[in-house]
Structure 1
Amino acid sequence: MTPDDEADLVLDAETRRRLRHDLRTPLTIVAGFAEVLAGDRDISQADRREFAIRIQDAATEIKKLIDAAFE
């Protein structure tokens, strides 16, 4: 393995680490709001809509991160 190959592996490992970190935040948002929506029937329609918007925004962010990672 050449030094360039080793550098590429390090970069790839760093890129994977950053991607994991960057994906966790929007995934946490999706999971948290989905859990609230699934478990609490007393949520107002306005709150349901707000939670759905936040889930949608987080899903869009996840898609952007994945698209950028695999260009």
Structure 2
Amino acid sequence: MSEEDLVLDAEARRRLRHDLRTPLTIVAGFAEVLAGEREISDADRREFAQRIQDAANDLRRLLDDVLED
């Protein structure tokens, strides 16, 4: 991999920031709801946990793509 391959242009950096922040925001938001004091049905709790898991998997794939040799 050349040095040029490591340098992202401004548009690529903007897309990457967005692509990383979106699933991170999902994880943080649903985790906050689950950790909060309000009552949540078991069905909602399972759905929120699944959304957290899906977003974490999206983050993992994005990071794997970025850090791939």
Are positions 1:51 and 2:48 aligned together?
yes
Q: TM-score, normalised by structure 2?
A: 0.80
> Using the alignment, how far apart are the partners of 1:26 and 1:40 within structure 2?
23
Flag as ranges the 4+ runs of structure 1 deviating above 4 A.
Answer: none
Residue in structure 2 matched with residue 21 of structure 1 by the alignment: 18
Equivalent residue pairs, number: 64
CA displacement at 1:66 relative to structure 2? 0.1
Are positions 1:37 and 2:34 aligned together?
yes
Unaligned runs of 5+ in 1: none
Q: TM-score, normalised by structure 1?
A: 0.78
Larger Rg: 1
CA deviations 1:31-69 (Å, max 9, x no partner) are: 000000001341011110000000000000000000000
Residue in structure 2 matched with residue 65 of structure 1 by the alignment: 62
CA deviations 1:4-52 (Å, max 9, x no partner) are: x7xx38x514333321110111001000000000013410111100000
* Percent of aligned pairs with the same amino acid: 67
Q: What is the letter of the counterpart of residue 52 of structure 2?
A: I
